[in-house]
Amino acid sequence: MIDLKIIRDQPDMVRSALVALNTTAPIDEILSLDASRRQVVTEVESLKARRNEGSKEVGRTKDAERRAELIEEMRVLGDDIAAKDEQVRVTDEELRNLLLLVPNLPLPDVPVGPDESHNAVTKTVEAERKPDFTVRPHWEIGEELGIIDFERGVKIAGTRNYVLRGDGARLQRALITWMLDLHTQKHGYTEVYPPYLVLTEMLVGTGQLPKFAETQFRDIEGEKWLIPTAEVPVTNLYRDEILDEAELPIYNTAYTACFRREQISAGRDVRGIKRGYQFDKVEMVKIVHPEKSIEEHARLIQEAEDVLMGLELPYRLLQICTGDLSFTA
């Protein structure tokens, strides 16, 4: 969640950033609520000062009638203070809910552009061998080899589900194990196996809630949610903790199944296994000193590239433009 002070002190900068991100957020409403809150807080402080003085006068006065008047005044002041404290509490909650709708702001070096067409390719790694055969989509090959079963996946779980069988299941298991070994043995990560069900505040902390509630799966009887990514439980391992600088950096990696109600455009990624409601992922999470964040981010990219290079897969590295950045980027 963005610091309210940034919006208060630099509202025009925040508005410009939102334009670059090609999104909106309730900045005017936040500023209005913040101003009202600060006014009420000032009034509360004034009332408390009057109450303190009145309490001292009650202790000093010898006149019973005057004492009674002062006690009544203190009671009224106490009621006013309680009412305004409640007003501040309600406003704080409203402000928090609005601030949760403000995305992270892009760094100055992020290229400005309205959508993915403005992303910049910064690196291209070509395949060492060009295929001497007709390239076919994975869903055709998977069904032909009997390693992906879409029909039975849909039968048991509905649309956008599939079953991996035989070598398909073995391949997935082997890839997961290999990636975890790579990150723990070469890159210095600690493997974590977290819960798949988490509390509401965990998803708030990593930015999925409240904005993306419609894409999440939840337990209707409680406040548990299926994780959309291992980032949620792994990042929240240190929630509400103060870490000693000497403990940094912390590198954690985790394999989990992930659950997400993907919203897809008509005609895009509608076939195959790419946009399923359930998928598996090996996540990498770094907790580092802010001054080291740029350096560690570059290292994280290289560690992800190591996976692709180890599998001898061609790939492109993209510099994502502002309009294509995710909410929490």
Please give the pLDDT value at position 329. Answer: 87
Q: What number of other Cβ atoms are within 10 A of residue 17's Cβ? A: 22
Please give the pLDDT value at position 262. Answer: 75
Among the listed residues 38, 128, 158, 171, the one whose alpha carbon sits nearest the alpha carbon of residue 314: 128
pLDDT in tens, 248-264: 999 999 999 999 987 66
The DSSP 8-state label assigned to residue 218 in this structure reads B
Please give the pLDDT value at position 114. Answer: 94
Residue range 287-301: average pLDDT? 97
> Rounded to an integer, what is the distance from CA 113 to the centroid of its chain?
22
Please give the pLDDT value at position 268. Answer: 56
CATH class of 127-132+166-313: alpha beta
Please give the pLDDT value at position 220. Answer: 86
Query: Which band of pLDDT confidence, cut at 50, 70 and 90, is reported for residue 43?
Result: very high
Please give the pLDDT value at position 264. Answer: 61
Please give the pLDDT value at position 65. Answer: 86
93-110 as b/e, with b when 16 or more CB fall inside 10 Å? eebeebbebbbebbeeeb
Please give the pLDDT value at position 127. Answer: 84
Using a 10 angstrom Cβ sphere, with 0-12 exposed, 13-18 middle and 19 or more buried, the burial of residue 322 is: buried
- Give the span between the Cα atoms of 6 and 34, in whole angstroms: 12
The DSSP 8-state label assigned to residue 41 in this structure reads H
* pTM across the whole model: 0.87
pLDDT in tens, 258-287: 999 876 655 555 678 887 899 999 999 999
The two structure tokens encoding residue 251: 């590198």
Identical fold, 26-99 and 127-132+166-313: no
Please give the pLDDT value at position 246. Answer: 96
Q: Does domain 26-99 have CATH number 1.10.3470?
A: no
**In the chain, where the domains are located:** 26-99, 127-132+166-313
174, pLDDT greater than 60: yes
Residue range 1-5: average pLDDT? 94
User: Between residues 266 and 76, which one has the greater pLDDT?
Assistant: 76
Taking phi first (over 0 means left), then psi (-120 to 50 degrees means alpha), and beta for anything else, what does residue 267 get?
left
303, pLDDT greater than 90: yes
Query: Which element (helix H / strand E) includes 281?
Result: strand 278-287
The two structure tokens encoding residue 84: 């305004």
pLDDT in tens, 176-229: 999 999 999 999 999 999 999 999 999 999 999 999 999 999 998 878 999 999
144, pLDDT greater than 80: yes
Please give the pLDDT value at position 285. Answer: 98
- Give the span between the Cα atoms of 118 and 170, in whole angstroms: 39
Q: Which residues contact 271 (CB under 8 A, 6 or more apart)?
A: 137, 139
Is 57 strand, coil or helix? helix
